[in-house]
Amino acid sequence: MLDLTRKALGASEALLFALFNQAPISILILDPSGQATDANDSFRNARRIETNESLARLNVLRDTSCIRSGFTHLVEPAFRGRICKEYECSYICTETDPPDAVYNLTAFPVMESGSLQSVVVLEENVTARFNAEKKALHLSIFDPLTGLPNRQHLLDRIADRLAYMERYSAHDALLLVNIDRFKIINDARGNLAGDNLIMQSGRRLRNALREIDFIGRTAADEFAILLPLEGDTPEKNGLKILSAAERLRQTLLKPFLIDGENLPVTASIGITFFPEESATATGNRDTPHYALARASTALHRAKDAGGNQCAFFERGMGMNAKERFTVERELSEENAEDGFLLYLQPQVSRNGTVVGAECLIRWQHPVRGLLAPGSFIPIAEDSDLIVKIGEWVLRKACIAMTQIKDTQNNFRISVNISPRHFMKPGFKDWIIALFSEHSLHPSRIMLEITEGLFLSNTEVAIRKMNELVDLGFVFSIDDFGTGYSSLAYLKKLPLRELKIDKSFVQDAPDEPNDAALVESIIAVAQNLGLEIVAEGVETEQQADFLASRGDMLYQGYFFGKPVPAADLLSNLATQP
Ligand code: C2E
Ligand code: CA
Ligand code: CA
């Protein structure tokens, strides 16, 4: 068999030569002393060696970095006379054309009667495949938009850190940074603006961190940051981490330049440490998913408290994630509305007459009792559940108004409108149909909006407002002063009324700054011809302060807490 092959080869020496030289793979042949004896065209071309160049030149190649690593690991064993199988490796070669090409290297000994004849080195250019794999790997662990590690990468990193922590005592902090109201920005300004904001935020955060800190993007508007803690226990490190988190939050406060406009943004941060002490104490290992869930729970807490702040995960808070989920599920149920209750809080004039009321929803929960809106409205606002709630309240408000409009001709009712509900396509047609169904003039119900509505797509929001105002609808700006906007922007909005936020009202009598602010809000409102409602009036002193500053309506516990709608309406009937 061997002889036959030899004969066939002998008969086609020219073919063998052609095969050697034209093979699309580089071939280098070395003698047992390690001297290169031959190299084919592919090999020479890759290194720009003229065909007639001496073998001595090739010997030099053996020592170049290009194949040195390959020699050590795979060619040398072949020289040692061992019966070598194929050894393979990929390496990056800077001396070849193109530079930085990646080769697959195979070396094998050619044995003759038990002794080494030569060593053959095969080199295959696998750059394209290598780059494709590298790109695929990069895509699988990096976020294409920001170039930052993605969620999987983060989880892997936490897993690595946890494995390290099993052997060495160490702690890390995990921070989840989430841009407040990003969905609104994205929905209203468009995905490109949203992407732009994310890219800029990622860059700002990365620049604010040290080299050893890890930052990745874990969701559309969310970044995760790992901060290794030095020495101290997590408790002692708490303050340090809080100030680091605060610093990161501040870096996002400077307005972002997007589409030529300054976009002010706030962010919330949830913080946890790992490994979790209780997990390690009970012998249970902390896990990357559990760490992320804790940070996420803390983040939701920061959001529920109004956003624009940092919150630590605390034991027992684990309930909140579950609760959130439960609330969402329960609100989505068909008959959730059966538990909704309409409460009304009186709005009074200077002489104490109840002239109007604000609708405030309550939820009579089958297990948890009567719930204030703070425990479900923010959750509902994350999805279209808020539309269902908003529609329910407006419908009830219309019914209440039809009941009293004949006896209390000037009575006013206000309803809170969530930005998400307002911006929904079809809101305008829906609300027009609702009012006509109840034969109500649009001005009978004051629509309370917040500055949040203008944070995202100012133009569209104002246009929608104007369309409704043209039809007779009336708007009030709620919680005024807590947002981002200047007093100046009020001019652009077709408003009927302004509500001074309770935080200013409550501190105004004692805090000169708040007093000055309330005074300037009142002055601007008067200038623009807006009616004023002061919210959260709790004391006589506050009422007096306001009364001495201008004409307005008052709303607050001092005059009346929110009560079931039926109670307020029946009291009205008896009001002189
Ligand atoms: P808001 O629109 O600013 O409503 C005023 C909140 O301040 C009400 O809380 C009210 O009970 C409370 N309040 C009134 N007077 C005083 C006072 O003198 N002192 C203090 N400390 N608080 C006072 P509530 O009912 O818990 O509602 C909280 C928020 O939930 C509302 O704030 C509003 O943003 C939202 N909300 C309530 N009902 C609805 C609704 O039907 N739709 C929507 N979208 N949001 C609603
Ligand atoms: Ca309100
Ligand atoms: Ca308010």
**Could you read off the pLDDT of 172-193 as tens digits, one per residue?**
999 999 999 898 888 888 889 9
Query: Which stretches in the chain have pLDDT values below 70?
Result: 1-11, 51-75, 77-78, 81-101, 231-236, 277-284, 314-322, 455-456, 482-488, 575-576
Class of CATH domain 333-574: alpha beta
Taking the CA of 476 as reference, the closest ligand is 2
- pLDDT for the residue 65: 45
562 lines ligand 1 (CB under 6 A): yes
Neighbours of ion ligand 3 (CB under 5 A): 478-479, 535
- pLDDT for the residue 36: 78
- pLDDT for the residue 74: 60
Phi, psi (rounded to 5 degrees) for 82: -70, 155
- pLDDT for the residue 245: 92
Could you check whether 2-130 and 333-574 share the same CATH topology?
Answer: no
Expressed in angstroms and rounded, the spacing between residue 367 Cα and the centre of ligand 2 is 27
271 lines ligand 1 (CB under 6 A): no
Taking the CA of 501 as reference, the closest ligand is 3
Domain 142-330 has CATH 3.40.47.10: no
Q: Residues near 505 by Cβ (< 8 Å), separated by ≥ 6?
A: 518, 534, 535, 536, 537, 542, 546, 556
Domain 2-130 has CATH 3.30.450.20: yes
Task: Check: CB of residue 492 under 8 Å from CB of residue 526.
Answer: no
- pLDDT for the residue 85: 46
Closest CA to 180 of 279, 310, 61: 310
Annotated domain spans of the chain: 2-130, 142-330, 333-574
390 CA: nearest ligand 1 atom = 42
Give the C-alpha separation, 565 to 225, whole Å: 48
Q: Pick the residue whose CA is nearest to atom 37 on ligand 1.
A: 360
418 lines ligand 1 (CB under 6 A): yes
502 lines ligand 1 (CB under 6 A): yes
- pLDDT for the residue 440: 96
Residues 234-265 pLDDT 10s: 556 777 888 899 999 999 999 999 888 888 99
Tokens 């094998």 found at: 108
- pLDDT for the residue 87: 43
Task: Check: CB of residue 46 under 8 Å from CB of residue 64.
Answer: no
Expressed in angstroms and rounded, the spacing between residue 405 Cα and the centre of ligand 3 is 24
Give the C-alpha separation, 111 to 268, whole Å: 70
